[in-house]
Amino acid sequence: MFTAGAESLLRQAREVQDEELRKFCSRISALLQEEDLGPDALDSLRRLFLIVSATKYNRRLEKTCVDLLQSTLCLPVCSEPLQVLCAAILREMSPSDSLSMSCDCTQNTWQLSLVASVLLAQGNRRDEVRTVAQHILRALESRQPEGPSLRHLLPIVSKVVGLSPGILQEDHTTLLSKRLIDWLRYASIQQGLPHSSGFFSASRARQPGPITEVDGAVATDFFTVLSMGHHFTEDQWLNMQAFSMLRAWLLHGSPEGLGAPDTDDKSELEGSTLSVISATSATSRLLPPRERLREVAFEYCQRLIEQSTRRALRKGDSELQKACLVEAVLVLDVLCRQDPSFLYRTISCLKALHGRLSGDPASVRVLLPLAHFFLTHGEAAAVDSEAIYQHLFTRVPAELFHSPLLAFEFIQFCRDNLHLFGGNLSILKLTFPNLFKFLAWNSPPLTSEFVELLPALVDSGTALEMLHSLLDLPCLTAALDLQLRLWPAASERPLWDTSLRIPSCLEAFRDPQFQGLFQHLLRPKASGTIERLAPLYQLLQPMASCARVAQCAEAVPTLLHMFFSAVTQVTSGSLTNQLALLLLERSDSLYQVPQYEACVHRVLSSQFLVLCKLRPSLVVELARDLLEFLGSVSSIHSRASMVTSVVWAVGEYLSVTCDRRCTVEQINKFFEALEALLFEVTQSRPTTLPRCPPQVVTVLMTTLTKLASRSQDLIPRVSLLLSKMRTLAQSPASSCSQDEEGAEAIRTRATELLNLLKMPSVAQFVFTPSMEVCSPRYHRDVNTALPLALRMVTRLMEKEAGLLPG
């Protein structure tokens, strides 16, 4: 709707030539110098804004024009739209060395705010942040003039301390803290007068009433952001702004910077859970400003928590209540970190809050900062954190996985608090099936989060179960979709794709025959058992191409890589073997999402080799299973990469040097199996099926040769085989260039191998180097580098035999 019109306007703005722009600037300068700044000026400035902002490259504006923009900003009387545009244009130009703005020329706090926004956009190249800070504080400290003026300044203070924590000096922060205390705690509890009440209005008839709570009742205590009135007084506005910036101020406002906890006299209290010092409001007035501010902040948060129990009349206020709860918990967390004596009072209050909220699905997002609080301070406060996590991790993901913002916050909570879980980390690890639900439903935004989180969840006890779950993630997505469709409607708009009609899948979901499998898939915690979900793949086939499932499938390969890099750190001998077997088994048993199988095979085949490299003896130990795998490969095309890896691993690691238990019999058995496989893939040449990938043929040939070099009775057999292969690859079977390349590769490889076999001892050296020779510097040693050796031998053979045979 917007694209076409916007596209053309943006292009026009970008294509304005320098000369045109110069003329335009002159026109604007003329307009701005007039007495009356009318709609023409406004219109021109709007266009100028577009021209400047439409391009990422600099636009040179005439100096007079820029100067006039700056001076218009500081005119005593000027319409707001004009001044706001001037500031916006100057800000869009920034950072710029040609601006020379100063706060001195501003007439009031409104203009000061606009100028500050331009100065803060300069990137602090000339210490603008400090300059702005000084001006703002000076304005705050001066006698308060009439009108809503200080309102414009507090947000700048907040921004400034956010950009440069600790930039303010002690006396400034003390002064501002005192004023914040006034605004937060002692704002008026009467409603304000409407602006329209003039000098002669009958003010007695219009006596404003008291402020009310969100549910309409008369306010019971001091003013907060959850207090209502038809009109607000100036200090009530400042109350709202003061709370909005409170957390930033507590953290960054102090000159020591970063809200460092107080000095030693408080340290005795850290250990004690029962603090005797619960400051009453009488004694607290004697506290220094920083401590007093903390006390006031504490009272404000408590009041907000109390106010949140009321039922708001308007939906917007109800949502604000929750945002206030989150903020209150965050502020209390800061307070307790800065001054542990708050802990005693806070814990009881928050425990009660948690109890109240855990049953309310609408308040679930408040539970996360609460859980963070208990995690951070739980030890000092002897809170039963385990019960809290159980609820959070067991029920919330299972019921609310479909909410995108909750999903993001939940996973962020896990990521950010890993270091705090301590002994409870095992709880987190066991709930990975539930956590995966967030990922399965919302994969695009959460994939990168899970990549960071996964290593912490990997555990040798649950590794196999987790790998199965990862491979079945797209299946989980489908199951969650079905689950949602069958739940009673929670919102007006369905959360699933209504264009997708899948009656057979819904039936399967309800079928008691498959209950067990679906329940296993949707389990909230690691069960310690493995279920083969193969029957479900067929049943859920109609859903395999739906968008959400496909998005999830795209995320899986990345996660598999992360999983393996994490699991190889903690794996033991037997686990490595089990993982390898799992890879082989699952390569044939996957939910058939388009392109999923191919991508997963790539990962599984490379990870199989990683496992083999980690533990070379697994080839010997799992010989029987590998033989079975090789014998059962029915359709080579779907598992080409897996077969290639397994065959290569056999060639590489099935030797006495890798494991003393390797017998000649094993080598012979594998030889036979591989020989049979090679015949199978090369003999079957139906014209309709695609040819076998040449890599499979070459790796088979190479491995067979390697095995022959270790069991030299096999050499004649393999030589025969290789010559046959070479002949086979020569026949011009197709005109396809890819096939020709493949055939060429097979011919070359066959030749190289044949040549090597003519010198069996060299072949043995080349294919089964001893351990010393396998050491890392091997490839750097010119005399022993394998590829060079191979090449050298081939060249020697060529020289001897004259032309290459064939």
| Residue ranges in 566-605 that form contacts with another protein under rule CB under 8 A | none
Residue from 408, 524, 565, 733 that binds another protein (CB under 8 A)?
A: 408
Q: Does 700 bind another protein (CB under 8 A)?
A: no
- Reduced to 3 states (helix: H, G, I; strand: E, B; else coil), residue 415 is helix
Q: Where do we find the tokens 């607290």?
A: 284
Q: Taken in order 180, 182, 185, 191, is the CA torsion positive or negative? A: negative
Preceding omega of 95 cis (within 30 degrees of 0): yes
Closest approach of another protein to the CB of residue 335, in Å: 16
Residue from 16, 75, 105, 163 that binds another protein (CB under 8 A)?
A: 163
Give the residues across from 60 on adjacent strands. none
Residue from 18, 104, 125, 732 that binds another protein (CB under 8 A)?
A: 125
List Cβ neighbours of 462 (8 Å cut-off, separation of 6 or more). 429, 430, 432, 526, 528
Q: Does 108 bind another protein (CB under 8 A)?
A: no
Amino acid at position 93, single letter = M
Closest approach of another protein to the CB of residue 37, in Å: 13
Q: Does 469 bind another protein (CB under 8 A)?
A: no
Asked if residues 637 and 692 have their Cβ atoms less than 8 Å apart, the reply is yes
Asked if residues 310 and 320 have their Cβ atoms less than 8 Å apart, the reply is no
Residue from 172, 185, 365, 726 that binds another protein (CB under 8 A)?
A: 365
Q: Does 189 bind another protein (CB under 8 A)?
A: no
Q: Which of residues 377-406 bind another protein (CB under 8 A)?
A: 404-405
Amino acid at position 576, single letter = T
Q: Does 409 bind another protein (CB under 8 A)?
A: yes
DSSP conformation class of 175: H
Q: Does 159 bind another protein (CB under 8 A)?
A: yes
Q: What is the DSSP annotation of 55-107? A: -SS--PPPHHHHHHHHHHHT-SS--HHHHHHHHHHHHHH-S-TT----GGG--
Q: Does 88 bind another protein (CB under 8 A)?
A: yes
Residue from 390, 551, 565, 657 that binds another protein (CB under 8 A)?
A: 551
List Cβ neighbours of 191 (8 Å cut-off, separation of 6 or more). 208, 209, 210, 211, 229, 230, 231, 232, 233
Q: Does 243 bind another protein (CB under 8 A)?
A: yes
List Cβ neighbours of 25 (8 Å cut-off, separation of 6 or more). 48, 61, 62, 64, 65
Q: Which of residues 414-443 bind another protein (CB under 8 A)?
A: 416, 442
Q: Which of residues 37-56 bind another protein (CB under 8 A)?
A: 42, 45-47, 49-50, 53, 56
Residue from 19, 36, 97, 265 that binds another protein (CB under 8 A)?
A: 97
Site string for another protein, 703-722 (x = CB under 8 A): --------------------
Closest approach of another protein to the CB of residue 293, in Å: 18
Q: Which range binds another protein by CB under 8 A, 178-186, 312-320, 537-545, 573-581?
A: 312-320
Residue from 111, 117, 188, 385 that binds another protein (CB under 8 A)?
A: 117
Residue from 217, 218, 277, 323 that binds another protein (CB under 8 A)?
A: 323
Residue from 38, 162, 594, 806 that binds another protein (CB under 8 A)?
A: 162
Q: Which range binds another protein by CB under 8 A, 85-93, 173-181, 678-686, 744-752?
A: 85-93
Q: Where do we find the tokens 């395999």?
A: 544
Nearer to another protein, 497 or 597 (CB): 497
Closest approach of another protein to the CB of residue 492, in Å: 7
Residue from 123, 631, 716, 805 that binds another protein (CB under 8 A)?
A: 123
Asked if residues 706 and 764 have their Cβ atoms less than 8 Å apart, the reply is no
Nearest to 322 by CA among 310, 308, 306: 308
Largest CA distance in the chain: 120
Closest approach of another protein to the CB of residue 239, in Å: 10
Q: Does 152 bind another protein (CB under 8 A)?
A: yes
611 exposure class (CB count in 10 Å sphere: 0-12, 13-18, 19+): buried
Q: Which range binds another protein by CB under 8 A, 239-247, 349-357, 606-614, 648-656?
A: 239-247
Q: Which range binds another protein by CB under 8 A, 20-28, 172-180, 222-230, 532-540?
A: 222-230
Nearest to 238 by CA among 142, 151, 110, 156: 151
Closest approach of another protein to the CB of residue 227, in Å: 8
Q: Does 9 bind another protein (CB under 8 A)?
A: yes
Q: Does 181 bind another protein (CB under 8 A)?
A: no
Q: Which range binds another protein by CB under 8 A, 313-321, 577-585, 722-730, 783-791?
A: 313-321
Q: Does 200 bind another protein (CB under 8 A)?
A: no
Nearer to another protein, 415 or 795 (CB): 415
Residue from 198, 316, 423, 776 that binds another protein (CB under 8 A)?
A: 316
Q: Does 264 bind another protein (CB under 8 A)?
A: no
Please measure the distance between the N-terminal and C-terminal CA atoms of the chain and give it in whole angstroms: 68
Residue from 124, 134, 711, 794 that binds another protein (CB under 8 A)?
A: 124
Rounded Cα distance, 65 and 259, in Å:
44
Amino acid at position 42, single letter = L
795 exposure class (CB count in 10 Å sphere: 0-12, 13-18, 19+): exposed
Q: Which range binds another protein by CB under 8 A, 149-157, 715-723, 779-787, 793-801?
A: 149-157
- Reduced to 3 states (helix: H, G, I; strand: E, B; else coil), residue 734 is coil
Q: Does 696 bind another protein (CB under 8 A)?
A: no
Give the residues across from 228 on adjacent strands. 212
Q: Taken in order 287, 291, 292, 295, is the CA torsion positive or negative? A: negative
CB neighbourhood size of 140 (10 A): 19
Closest approach of another protein to the CB of residue 670, in Å: 46
Nearest to 453 by CA among 424, 417, 415: 415
Q: Does 353 bind another protein (CB under 8 A)?
A: no
List Cβ neighbours of 767 (8 Å cut-off, separation of 6 or more). 651, 705, 706, 709, 710, 756
Asked if residues 671 and 707 have their Cβ atoms less than 8 Å apart, the reply is yes
Q: Does 210 bind another protein (CB under 8 A)?
A: no
Closest approach of another protein to the CB of residue 18, in Å: 15
Q: Does 244 bind another protein (CB under 8 A)?
A: yes
575-604 burial: b if 16+ Cβ within 10 Å, else e = bbbbbbbbbbebbbebbebeebbebbbebb
741 exposure class (CB count in 10 Å sphere: 0-12, 13-18, 19+): exposed
Q: Taken in order 578, 583, 588, 593, is the CA torsion positive or negative? A: positive
Residue from 223, 232, 300, 653 that binds another protein (CB under 8 A)?
A: 232
Nearer to another protein, 57 or 199 (CB): 57
Q: Which range binds another protein by CB under 8 A, 94-102, 279-287, 613-621, 659-667?
A: 94-102
What Å distances lie between residue 544 and 262, 435, 504, 637, CA to CA? 58, 22, 13, 21
Residue from 33, 58, 201, 267 that binds another protein (CB under 8 A)?
A: 58
Q: Does 7 bind another protein (CB under 8 A)?
A: yes
- Reduced to 3 states (helix: H, G, I; strand: E, B; else coil), residue 216 is coil
Closest approach of another protein to the CB of residue 368, in Å: 9
Residue from 444, 594, 716, 806 that binds another protein (CB under 8 A)?
A: 444
| Alpha-carbon Rg for the chain in angstroms | 37
Q: Does 514 bind another protein (CB under 8 A)?
A: no
Q: Which range binds another protein by CB under 8 A, 316-324, 375-383, 428-436, 689-697?
A: 316-324
DSSP conformation class of 522: T
Nearer to another protein, 212 or 272 (CB): 212
Residue from 16, 22, 130, 155 that binds another protein (CB under 8 A)?
A: 155
Residue from 324, 353, 677, 750 that binds another protein (CB under 8 A)?
A: 324
